[in-house]
Amino acid sequence: MTELVATTPGLYPLPDWAKRDLEDLKGHQKHDLISGDEGEEIIDVYQESRSQVIERQQEANLDLVVEGQLRWDDMLVHPFAVHDAVDTRGIVRYYDNNNFYRETVVTDELSFNGDIAAELEEAEEQTDSLMAVLPGPYSLADLATDEYYSDEQTFVNAVGEFLAEEANAFPEVEALFLPDPSLVTAPPEDDVLSAVKEALNTVSNAVDAPVLLHPYWEAFDEDTYTTVLDTDIDAVGFDLINAAEKNKRVATEYGIPDSVVLGVVDGQNTRVESSAEINNRVDQFTSATSKPETAYITSNTGLFYLPMNRFGEKLDALGAATEYTEVEA
């Protein structure tokens, strides 16, 4: 029987009180966004907000808890947005939706920063089931502009090494989650695939914990999927909200690893799924493939799109889905 592990990719909405306080403290213009040198009052707001979302995950009985990435103004490119070797410039559309992020332009050699490790050290004090989240190396490279490295392959490898250094500084975590939507929305060209493989291996080998790679919004193409299967990644993800049938075909034709990540809750829709609906999505996938030993069940995307009440209800739905399976069994 497949073990279900409930978790999320993070990227949580800020509590309403925190939005109000932060607007008073730092405003909401481009120059007011997170840069890594916030003052004490702003840090305190984020710390209290982090505590609240960790407690909310625990109330929902999630198996792996994330710190929430509440400071991430720029979704996936946050590690670059706070880096000294990266300039933030104009506003760019975030994939094909109505969210935007600051264009991150790499102008110098990427080196260790430690910003995310500091966030995790705060979270570690509140949970013994902490999962870290970093952007996947290919998406971070794809969303950025490179003005320093010589070519795309070199840049992707440099991004992998940068993320590995960041991950190596993390406190002890139970897993590392890598959202990497560009793998399926803008698949790497053939000449970049080897660099993607090397970057994923570099990041995976930086932590002594399972590493979960999760693309979303689309399904893998053949070359990208078989390349990912040939890496040291422990679990590969499938978006069963936006690309369920395509992903099932890919998984059936080329097989799956022992562990998978299944995006079974819609991170961009306020309708809350029932336990039965979540389990049905899991069952449909595992029935079409060789049954994995472990399925990490999660929202297909980060949850920052949602209002706080629906965000909490989505967490409850994921936590209840594992209990529902155990009762049925």
Q: DSSP for 206-248?
A: TSSS-EEEE--SS---HHHHHHHHTSS-SEEEEETTTSHHHHH
pLDDT at 249: 96
CA distance 324 to 314: 15
- The phi and psi torsions of 19 (rounded to 5 degrees) equal -60, -45
Burial string for 209-241 (b: 16+ CB within 10 Å, else e) reads: bbbbbbbbbbbbeeebbebbeebebbbbbbbbb
The pLDDT tens digits for 250-299 are: 999 999 999 999 999 999 999 999 999 999 999 999 998 988 999 999 99
Amino acid at residue number 325: T
Q: Is the pLDDT of residue 329 over 80?
A: no
Across residues 105-133, what is the average pLDDT? 96
Q: Is the pLDDT of residue 328 over 50?
A: no
> Which of these ranges, 94-108, 285-299, 312-326, has the smallest mean pLDDT?
312-326
Strand order in the sheet with 145-146: 86-93, 100-106, 145-146
Across residues 126-141, what is the average pLDDT? 98
**324: pLDDT confidence band, cut at 50, 70 and 90?**
low
Q: Which two tokens stand for residue 190?
A: 């053939």
Whole-number mean pLDDT of the chain?
Answer: 93
pTM of the predicted structure, to 2 decimals? 0.95
Across residues 237-241, what is the average pLDDT? 98
pLDDT at 31: 46
**215: pLDDT confidence band, cut at 50, 70 and 90?**
very high
CA distance 318 to 149: 42
Contact between residue 8 and residue 62 where contact means Cβ atoms under 8 Å apart: yes
Between these two residues, 30 and 224, which has the higher pLDDT value?
Answer: 224
CA distance 323 to 81: 39
Contact between residue 160 and residue 191 where contact means Cβ atoms under 8 Å apart: no
Q: Is the pLDDT of residue 39 over 90?
A: no
**326: pLDDT confidence band, cut at 50, 70 and 90?**
very low
Q: Is the pLDDT of residue 199 over 70?
A: yes
Q: Is the pLDDT of residue 29 over 60?
A: no
Across residues 186-199, what is the average pLDDT? 97
Distance of CA 131 to the CA centre of its chain: 10
pLDDT at 28: 54
Amino acid at residue number 280: N
Contact between residue 152 and residue 141 where contact means Cβ atoms under 8 Å apart: yes
Q: Is the pLDDT of residue 120 over 50?
A: yes
Domains of the chain, CATH where assigned = 3-328 (3.20.20.210)
CA distance 89 to 66: 29
Across residues 207-225, what is the average pLDDT? 97
**212: pLDDT confidence band, cut at 50, 70 and 90?**
very high
CA distance 65 to 53: 9
> Which of these ranges, 163-177, 237-251, 281-295, has the smallest mean pLDDT?
281-295
Q: What share of the chain is helix, strand, coil (3-state, %, to 5)?
A: 45, 15, 40
Between these two residues, 329 and 256, which has the higher pLDDT value?
Answer: 256
The pLDDT tens digits for 83-99 are: 999 999 999 999 988 88
Q: Is the pLDDT of residue 3 over 60?
A: yes
**27: pLDDT confidence band, cut at 50, 70 and 90?**
low
The pLDDT tens digits for 148-164 are: 998 999 999 999 999 99
